[in-house]
Amino acid sequence: MGKDPISRPRLLSWQFDDDVEANNLDEWNWIEITMHFTEGSKRWSILYTPERLLNNLSRPNIDPPGLHMQQLIVVRSYEISDIDRVLMVFDEEDKLIEASRAYPEL
């Protein structure tokens, strides 16, 4: 039997932590977001579009020529509606905690 969906933290809201400049087709950096959950925690993830990920891995000076990040989510675009949908589905499937990192306790 799975976890009780009421007892686990659920996504309340999210926000961009970086400026999104969708017009620059040569851009390769990722965008970070902060998510707020029902029990008061904050977590963060990195969002990449396929184009920006390809641009990053195509840079001639990238070393090593690959990457792995637990908190990486690939999205079709940086449109709010696309991100909302991805985060909502991940939250419903109980995968959003796994696809993010907790902010350190201060």
Q: Which residues contact 50 (CB under 8 A, 6 or more apart)?
A: 74, 76
pLDDT digits (tens, 9 = 90+) for 72-105: 999 999 999 999 999 999 999 999 999 999 998 7
91 domain residue, yes or no:
yes
Instruction: Indicate the residue type of 78.
Output: Y
Q: What is the pLDDT of residue 105?
A: 74
33 domain residue, yes or no:
yes
Secondary structure of 58-95 as H, E, C letters: CCCCCCCCCCCCCCEEECCCCCHHHHHHHHHHHHHCCC
Q: For residue 88, what are the domain limits?
A: 11-102
| CA 64 – CA 62 distance, rounded (Å) | 6
Whether pLDDT at 20 is above 90: no
Q: Structural domain tally of the chain? A: 1
User: Model-level pTM?
Assistant: 0.87
3 domain residue, yes or no:
no
Mean of pLDDT over the chain: 91
Whether pLDDT at 12 is above 50: yes
